[in-house]
Structures are given as structure tokens and as C-alpha cells.
Structure 1
């Protein structure tokens, strides 16, 4: 593959898939080609730059694909990412995930393969790297930048939690889907005059609960940035339900929310390569607590509860 007169750009996508990734790949590729660069896609995020066999270089099509105008146009209007993705963190690869051709050199429980990543970028002739991802994917991009690799990052996260950005690719879809799902469940809530507790994703940021609430999907929301008192939440929701002629109210609960003096709730102790355990379960805890406390504000009358997890 002949190198463009202005150099070669590499694109990769990491973390969760969101609508907008393939159009973003298309946009970068078409502009780069027009400006005199050639473009290659790295398959499966950072894993591609770990797994690549340098002797094969651009011919290792398991991990590298030349990006042409025809190819990116073909995928531009499909969801997800045609380059595929992973949650690999090259600076902390567990021994079991070290590629077979590197295991004689990397034998620790956790291995930093950044030197291999940089050597692979050089072998591929990549002059500029464009990673598209969220907080995890781009945090490793920062490490490469500090090592002298020219990086231009594209923020992508449904959680909208990439520092230094206001609005990330994927976030608008997340908000619209939370709103749609919240509205779907209110028909059942109205029929039985219930309270609804919907747990939504977002990790340590509350945007995915806060913005849908602003948009009218719920009367209240609980977010990681502000600890809550269940007694006050119960009082407010009871008042919201009483004020609604159809007798229902909705509370969106971010998966990272926690009560005053409490801790975030995790589904287990297992962590990914970025050190994150999977959050989940706070919605059920809130619903259970509300079922006990709300009757204090309804004259002792029990109130039905609908609890769902959208994470």
C-alpha cells in the first residue's frame, strides 16, 4: 500500500459501540484522502495494535484494513463500528491475554505492552493516530501522546463523561432512548397508579439521568454527583404522584448514584483492564427503600412500584 504524499493516518474505535461511529470513520477518511493522506483502520481497538504481527505489517488483515472511499461509504449508514471494538488496555494486559508471539517476553500478571504498540505503529507507517472512544480508550491515547505519538482523539461515549468535552458522540442517542423507554413504562404505571424507578447507565456521571429528566421523562433523578436522602426522595415522589391526575411518578437513577454516607453498588468484584467493576443494583435498592418509606407520606397507604434496569 503506497503511502499518501502527506503521510498515513490510522483510525481505531474502542469501548462500547454507538450510532455515529461509522459516519465519523467516513468523515475522517474522506477528508484525509482529499488532503493527500492514505488511511488505515485498526481492527478491534487497542487490541489490534497489541495483536499485530510486525513482520506482516499492513498485510495482517486480521488487524489492519486499508480505508478507501468506497469502503467507508458502504458502512456509513449502519450502526456500530465496522472496525470492531475491544476494551483492551495495552498498558495493563493480563498474562492470559498477552498474544502468543509475545509471551516469551511478557510474563508478569499485568504487562505494559506500550512499547509494542509504538513499534507496531512505526511498522505500519502511521504518522497520526485517530482513536475514537470514551474515557477509557482516550485515557490510553493520552499515554501514547506523552510518549510522542501524534494523536487526534474523537470523544465517543453514551455517558458523556470525557473530560474537556461538552457533548460526545453517542450521547444524544442515549438520551432519546432513555426518554422513549421511560415513556413506554408509564402506561403501566398510570394503569396501576405506581411509582417507577428506572436505573440507567452512566458510570460515575449523571448526564444520562439528568438530561432525560430535564426533557420530561421523569419527575426526579438521582445522580452520582449529589448524594441523596431516601426520606426526601420518598417525600418528593409521593408529592409528585399526588399532583399527577393519573397517579404516577418516575425517578431515573444513575447506576453510580449513592445515598448520603453510602457507597456505589457493584454487581461483582471482577474488574476490566481499566480497573472498573460493573456498576448496577442501586435502582433495586432505591425501589425497595421507597416501598417502605413512601407510605409515611400517603397516610399509610402502600404504593405499587415498578423497578427496571436500562443499563
Structure 2
């Protein structure tokens, strides 16, 4: 068996742990492993008849190549946001299949978010054996409770929020911390809850300045140190504004002025209270993985190899209610994953709420 591995979309901590687990698991079975570089874009740069392009866009993965990589963040294979079906030259699925055939690849394990895994499902639908592994710090891949990278992003965010309290408190201002999360507010919701901020604005619920601003002013007044903290999802909307798409947030592009800065400007104009604004952005996904993302990375990688060993391709590895499992690879196409607002969020108070804890999975989804 000759398997290929690639990573696509945004990098997250834990990818290298997964790559290592896949590689070592495959080698233990006597298989050959090739790592394809730069996601699906790397495939489009390969000419199967040109050894130089193959060498530039792929590596042989062995024990030495993956030694110690689990301790580092990012991905040793590099990444891109590329869908071979949407190229200027047209649908390049045929080229990808030709590369796989000419290089003798029997199956692929793809690590990615929504975009990368959508093409993985498409490739599987063409009859090629694929196992997909969900990763995104937004944790918004439909079909799994957990994606590699989420825990580290939460840990980084909580640390930064609490660190920012010293400056915000020293200047007696309202702190606004903007976190990645265009479609799902899970990152903001959980980070805000764990850091015990005063208010949290998520992507799923528009913020009404007429309700939110008086709450923050009151929070500041009663804090004891004359400051307040608010976390906001980058995809959040402020009532009265035009839609985010019209503000420049489309696809993978982000607005020049984030919603955190727009909220801060509104606060200062309407209340006269100063603000401190911090976009954590790529720092949320930077650096080494925490224990959770190492553990899930290792486990997802091991499960992917076991599925291929058992000739059970066309699956996406997943976590459901705290248990490792796998679902059909096209499951992510069946819906979108967002915050369960009714059970986990108080719209009026702009805060996380726990209706119940007993019987809930660890991350309270």
C-alpha cells in the first residue's frame, strides 16, 4: 500500500502530530508514505512526467522525517486554500486523479477544514479511496464535535484575554478582544466563558448597541477596577450596519477594519468611554499544540490508518460525545455547524449560559 498525506486550509497546532501518527502507523504496516506539499495546489503544480515537479511538491515520509514534529505547530507539508474544481483553467479533478495514478498512490489521507474536505469528498465520489481528518480552530466542520486546533486556539485566547486585563484596567477602559470565527461563534463563546469576560458577542447573534453598550458601561462601573472585557467573533454583526460581505469579508478575505474596531468606535462615540482593542488573529493558531490537540492529532491519525487497513475508505474521522468514531466522508456537506444558541447562549445578556451540565460532552456542544 502506498498512501499520500496532505494538509489544506489554515494551519493549526496538532497537524504535525497527526502527520506523525499516520506515517508511523503506515510504516508499521509495511506501507510507503508520500507527503504532498501545499495542499491541493501542490497537486496542480505536479507534472507526472517531470521528476523535478514531483520532487518540489512531495516528500517521502519516513521515521526520520517525522521525528519530533509533533512538538511543533503549523504543518511541515505547508498548506494552501485551493479547490481543483474552481481553477481558471476549469475543473482540474482529472489532473489530480492522473497524478495519483501515475505516482502509484493507492489512498489519500487529507487533513483540512471545510474547503479541503469538500474536495476530498468529491474525490471519494470519483471512486478514489480517501480518509479525511477535520481540522480548524473555528471547530465548524459539520459531522464532528471536535476539530484539530480548537483547544489550542481556546487556550491561546484565554491567556491573551486575561493578560489584556492589566492594560485595560490600568486605563479604566472597555477591552474588546476579536477572535477568528466567521461563521461560527464557538471560539468566542468558549474563550469568553473560560476567561469569564463580561460580555461575548458571537457570529450567530447580531449585537444591538442599544442593549450591549449600557451593559458594558454598567459592567465597568461595578467591576471594582473600573474596566470591562468583551469578546467578539470576527464574523459578528452590529445591528444598523451593512452586511459583513459588503464590508469586505468574503471567502477567505477579511475586512480591513474588523468588527472589534467598529464596536469600539461605537462605544467611544455613544458612551465617551475609552477602549482597548486587540485582534488575536493568527496568534490563536501560532505555536506548539496543547495536550488536547496533540492527543486528538495522534488519535485521528491512528484511526485513519486503521480504516485504510480495514479497507474502509470514504470516511471522515470524528469525535462524537467524547468518543472517537468515523462518519461518511460527505457528511460535512449535509449541514453547517454553529453554536446552539438556544441552549448555550443568552441573547439578552450576551453571555454563555449552561442550561444543564449532566450528560453533556466535555466541550459542552
**TM-score interval (norm. to shorter):** 0.7 to 0.9
Does the CA-based 8 Å contact 1:9-1:129 persist in structure 2?
yes
SS in 1 for 2:56: coil
1:191 maps to which of 142, 146, 170: 170
Q: How does 1:111-260 map to 2 (within 5 A)?
A: 111-260=90-239
**Alpha carbons 2:141, 2:147 under 8 Å: kept:** yes
Cα distance in structure 2, aligned partners of 1:156 and 1:236: 35
1:80 is the counterpart of 2:74: yes
Unaligned runs of 5+ in 1: 1-6, 95-105, 296-301
Equivalent pairs counted in the alignment come to 280
C-alpha separation between the residues in 2 aligned to 1:152 and 1:144? 10
The within-5 A match list for 1:279-290 is 279=255, 281-290=258-267
Larger-gyration structure (1/2): 1
How far apart, in 1, do the equivalents of 2:120 and 2:156 lie?
29
- Match 1:307 to one of 265, 274, 277: 277
69-78 vs 47-56, greater mean Cα deviation: 69-78
Q: Give per-residue Cα distances to partners, 1:85-130, cap 9 Å, x unaligned.
A: 1112211123xxxxxxxxxxx4xxxx21111011111112111111
Contact 2:260 2:277 (C-alpha < 8 Å) held by counterparts: yes
- Give me the whole-angstrom Cα distance separating, in 2, the residues matched to 1:215 and 1:130: 34
1:36 aligns with 2:6: no
Which TM-score applies when normalising by structure 2?
0.72
Contact persistence 1:265–1:281 (CA under 8 A): no
Does the Cα contact within 8 Å between 2:181 and 2:203 map onto a contact in 1? no
Q: CA contact under 8 A between 2:172 and 2:225: conserved in structure 1?
A: yes
Task: For 1:246 and 1:65, locate their aligned partners in 2 and report how far apart those are by CA, in whole Å.
Answer: 55
| TM-score normalised by the chain length of structure 1 | 0.84
Show CA shifts across 1:226-258 (max 9, x none).
122111111211222122111111111111001
Distance 2:220 2:247 in 1: 34
2:110 and 2:117 in contact (8 A); partners too: yes
Quick one: distance in 2 between partners of 1:117 and 1:257? 37
Listed one character per residue, the Cα deviations across residues 18-44 of structure 1 (whole Å, up to 9, x for unaligned) are 211111100011111112322110011
* Deviation for aligned residue 1:84: 1.1
Structure 2 residues not aligned, in runs of 5+: 282-365
**Kept in 2: contact 1:201–1:254 (CA 8 A):** yes
Partners of 1:264 and 1:282 within 8 A in 2: no
Helix, strand or coil: the match of 2:79? coil
Once the two structures are superposed, residues 49-89 of structure 1 have per-residue CA deviations (whole angstroms, 9 ceiling, x without a partner) of 11111114698210111111121114332221111111122
- SS in structure 2 opposite 1:69? coil
Query: What is the alpha-carbon distance in structure 1 between the residues aligned to residue 188 and residue 125 of structure 2?
Result: 34
Q: Of 11, 14, 18, which aligns to 1:17?
A: 11
Q: 2:40: which partner in 1?
A: 46
Structure 2 Cα separation of the partners of residues 213 and 269 of structure 1: 26
Q: Which whole-Å deviations, capped at 9, do the CAs of 1:111-155 have from their partners, x for residues lacking one?
A: 211110111111121111111111111121121122122111111
Q: 1:55 aligns with which of 23, 46, 49?
A: 49
Residue 340 of structure 2 is matched in structure 1 by none
The higher-RCO structure (CA 8 Å, 6+ apart) is 2
